[in-house]
Every structure is written in C-alpha cells, then in structure tokens.
Structure 1
C-alpha cells in the first residue's frame, strides 16, 4: 500500500482526535463501569494504532531522507 506523507499525517491526526474524544467520554462515563470498560478497551486499541502509525511514518520517512 502506498501512503503519502499527507495521508499518514491525516491518519495520525484522526487517531489523536479519537483519543481525546475517548478520554472525555471515559471521564463522563464514570458512573457506568461497563461502558467505561468498553471505552478503555477502545482507547487502548486506538493508542496501539497511533503508535504503530507513528512508527511506520518514522521508518518510512527516515529511509526517504537518507
């Protein structure tokens, strides 16, 4: 799959925004532990995706800049 720097940056920004929203939702769901657990699971999955995307970006663009 061919990714441009702009596409990768947009995906990273989207994931960062999702994390902010999930964090707020998690705070608001304090009284609903089952729902909060689902949000925590989504938050962890999103953090993993974000770290993988950042690692991918760094690997691709350090190779290009050499």
Structure 2
C-alpha cells in the first residue's frame, strides 16, 4: 500500500494520494482532526495512538484527547 502525502515543513500532513483518491486533512485550532489517517503523522508531526485514541504532544510527554 503506497501513500503519497503533502506535508508542511513541521510534518503536518495536508493531503494524501492513495490509489487515485485524494484526501485532504483539516485540523481544529487544537490540532485534532476527524479523519483517522492510519500510519500518518498528525498536526506538527505528532503521533496518534490508535489504542488509546490520544495524540502524544511534547515529544510524547503529554497526551491530548479531543473527547
């Protein structure tokens, strides 16, 4: 499965191209998105934990959940 992404210099993915389909990512002011982008980094290159559903901010020292 090959996925081509368009990122900002900070690592934030803006769009992804997979099998001819383009997905655009929109972020809230706090960096969360409604789209589950499995395997992609989130806002500012932060990792999303699929098990707990949180984003690990500050090099993993803080966990953020939008719920």
Structure number with the higher helix fraction is 1
Question: What TM-score do you get using the length of structure 2 for normalisation?
Answer: 0.24
Question: What is the TM-score when the length of structure 1 is the normalising length?
Answer: 0.24
By relative contact order (CA 8 Å, sep 6+), the higher-ranking structure is: 1
Higher strand share: 2
Determine which structure has more spread, i.e. the larger CA radius of gyration.
1
